[in-house]
Homo-oligomer: A and B are copies of this chain.
């Protein structure tokens, strides 16, 4: 597995991608214009098209990320829930790509599709082993996603005062037991 030869334009490509993430995170898909992204990256709008083909494909490239969820096999449910919630909040704070995808998924169908894929490929498999009955695993993972996304939406997108005011540790302390409950509790 050899990486492709480095190109002279790699710095430009990276600058475009970084500016795109900024704009998509701040404005969502439709309000983030190619011209604004190009201006932020201090390059010509035509470069964006040359290197990424279209706005749609630029977004696809900008919204690519790995949640890097830890392996939780063998970890007790209570501890696993704490780790999960903490990891998600941390990822959201350090990488605005997550906010970009969340914002865009509200109005752009392909962004929503990507988000569903992230759920299916990265989140659900980590939650599933904790389900007492495997047939319930999808619903349980869905509830966990609703919890995480609800927190992320109110905190990073809507910026609801009382939620942004909660410290990260306290937020983890509130959400972890909920997530644990969804993962393992008897079906109500």
Contacts and interface: CB of A to CB of B under 8 A. Distances in A.
Interface of A: 27-31, 102-103, 105-107, 112, 115-116, 119, 124, 138-139, 141-143, 145-151, 153-155, 157-163, 165-166, 170, 173-174, 177-178, 181-182, 187-188
A103 B112 CA distance: 12
Nearest to A171: B143
B154 A145 contact: yes
Describe A's contact surface by its main secondary structure.
helix
Q: Which of A30, A143, A151, A166 has the most CB of B within 10 A?
A: A143
Contacts of A29: 107
A84 to B, nearest CB: 15
Given A31-B30, A150-B150, A160 B177 contact: no
A14 to B, nearest CB: 26
Nearest to A141: B162
Given A107-B28, A142-B162, A147-B147, A174 B154 contact: no
